[in-house]
Amino acid sequence: MSPLTELIGSANAYGWGKLLTSTSFESIATVTVGSGGASTITFSSIPGTYTHLQIRGIGRSSNGGAPDNIYARINSDSSTNYSNHYLWGNGTVAQATGGSNNDLYIAGRQTGNDSLSNTFGATVIDILDYANTNKYKTIRYLAGWDTNGAGEAWFASANWRSTSAITSLTFYNSFNWVQYSHFALYGIKSA
């Protein structure tokens, strides 16, 4: 079975080789950006009581020029412990690329302030075995944005070369998050 989650009616899904029901996910925390904007979105004191984490977000950057990447750091680690691999396309161009020994990882893509009004990019990020202290952490995400016919779709993976349990996540972009950007953190229980 593919590790990608496939919806099977009634909010049940297959993923990680198991049936996941809507009760497999528990809300841990949410952040909604207020009228003043925000430079970061942070989830801290993440409990180690789940098997995996999922972050679902919508974002818009204050960048006046173009769409903007969503960047992330784990446990405030700014050393070169991250690698990325991603595929993206915009309907005309498709590209695959990656990088290693980075001080952050790319966790999605979002619209900028030059985009169609009131549009946001969306991202769903899965962090597998986040509390396991015997291995490096694997991250995957699916992201995209559309502005009435122009947009991008991203499918990517990353890893954090640390055996530490993940206790905090910080998301940011090149500028600031605008009002109504929203991120929700979920814990996924093992079956």
Residue 107 burial (10 A CB sphere; 0-12, 13-18, 19+): buried
Residue 191 binned pLDDT confidence (cut-offs 50, 70, 90): low
Query: Which pLDDT does position 18 carry in this prediction?
Result: 56
Residues 143-175 as b/e (b if ≥16 CB within 10 A, e otherwise) read bbbbeeeebbbbbbbbbbebeeebbebbbbbeb
Among 154, 189, 169, residue whose Cα is nearest residue 15: 189
| CATH 2.60.120 matches 26-188 | yes
Do 79 and 92 meet the contact criterion of CB atoms below 8 Å apart?
no
**pLDDT digit string, tens, across residues 4-47:** 444 444 444 445 455 555 558 999 999 999 999 999 999 999 99
Query: Which pLDDT does position 72 carry in this prediction?
Result: 95
What's the rounded Cα separation, in Å, for the pair 122 and 185? 14
Among 95, 92, 75, residue whose Cα is nearest residue 160: 75
**pLDDT digit string, tens, across residues 117-152:** 888 999 999 999 999 999 999 999 999 988 777 888
Query: Which pLDDT does position 11 carry in this prediction?
Result: 46
pLDDT surpasses 90 at 50: yes
Among 105, 121, 123, residue whose Cα is nearest residue 178: 121
**pLDDT digit string, tens, across residues 150-159:** 888 999 999 9
Query: Which pLDDT does position 20 carry in this prediction?
Result: 55
C-alpha neighbours within 13 Å on the C-beta side of residue 7: 4
Query: Which pLDDT does position 7 carry in this prediction?
Result: 44
Domain ranges within the chain, ordered by starting residue: 26-188
Query: Which pLDDT does position 64 carry in this prediction?
Result: 79
CA distances from 185 to 12, 29, 66, 79 (A): 19, 5, 27, 24
**pLDDT digit string, tens, across residues 80-117:** 999 999 999 988 999 999 999 999 999 988 888 777 88
What's the rounded Cα separation, in Å, for the pair 183 and 31? 5
